[in-house]
Homo-oligomer: A and B are copies of this chain.
Amino acid sequence: MELTAFMSQELPRIEGLLREKTDSLSEYVRPCAGHVLAAGGKRLRPLLTILSARAFGYGGDVLPLACAMEFLHSATLLHDDIVDGSRLRRGKPAAHTVFDQTAAILTGDALLALANRMVAELGDARLTQLLSEAILQTATGEIMEVAHIRDFAMPVGKYLEIITGKTARLIEAACLCGAVLAGAGSEGEDAAKAFGLNLGIAFQLADDALDYTSDALVAGKTTGADLREGKPTLPLLLFLCSLPSREATGCLEILSDDGERNRQAETLLKAVTEGGFAEQTRDRAQAYIAKAEDALAKFPDAPHRKLLRQSLSGAAKREK
């Protein structure tokens, strides 16, 4: 079976349970929750949970656990868009602009609780513990990112810590929880964890590269949004590292002045892409993909392992 066939089989079931659970919410929460869920997305996290559980031989129902991962992700999106002041989400108006900030904050809380409840209902406290840990790390990563806004002198290590927290930990949890549900044992769990963590880092690196190179219409977002918002991401950090120290100082001065940074945004974007730093960021993503592949080698040699390998190639490209 190919990944596309697997997806066309699983996605309708995922969408079905997401809708059913959203419909079960109070009428006060439902519209805003429905909005963020309907904005779509690739349902990467639930797909990974299902694939991971199946790869480790689980034949039972993975859907509630898988959908809990998507609800968790949606909750973080609701809060992140407020925090980032983003007006758009996947090319559509963000929930806090359609409804209001109050609805977005509290619906986010409700979805966090819904996800926790769905996992708690499975009766395995270990799964709930992993989920809570992932939420804690995701929120911490987000706060860290906000704390380092406009900090263009930030070391690359700190940048990696941020993206690991805000993006990779939840993807790691999606894979790990699938393995735990399947009773994969400690070696299997370690493999699932390493696969998810590295895939998650690669995923965010590719996304950050995309922001310097993508066509706005294709990606449903504006090129250079990170630069304009003052988010120091890897393409820019690598560019700054490449400059002789006097030039780097001058460039940091421009970057730290909001007006100047926006006036010179096009020039800066061009310098970063033409210097090949978006490409270098993609190369780094590829290196994490390779690590994820190494982790896959420790999975059982099941058909679903092949599908997990196929899912990797898409993650590193992320052209839209």
Contact = CB atoms under 8 A, between A and B. Distances in A.
Interface of A: 25-26, 28-29, 75-76, 79, 82-83, 101-103, 105-110, 112-114, 116-117, 119-126, 128-129, 131-133, 135-136, 138-140, 142-144, 146-147
B143 A117 contact: no
Please state the number of chain copies in the assembly: 2
Contact of A136 (B117, B132, B140): B117
Given A125-B125, A125-B128, A28 B116 contact: no
Contact of A83 (B106, B132, B133, B142): B106
A106 B120 contact: no
A149 B186 CA distance: 52
Contacts of A123: 125
B79 A106 contact: yes
Contacts of A126: 120
B79 A143 contact: no
A125 B143 CA distance: 29
A270 to B, nearest CB: 31
Nearest to A133: B117
B128 A120 contact: yes
B79 A144 contact: no
A38 to B, nearest CB: 18
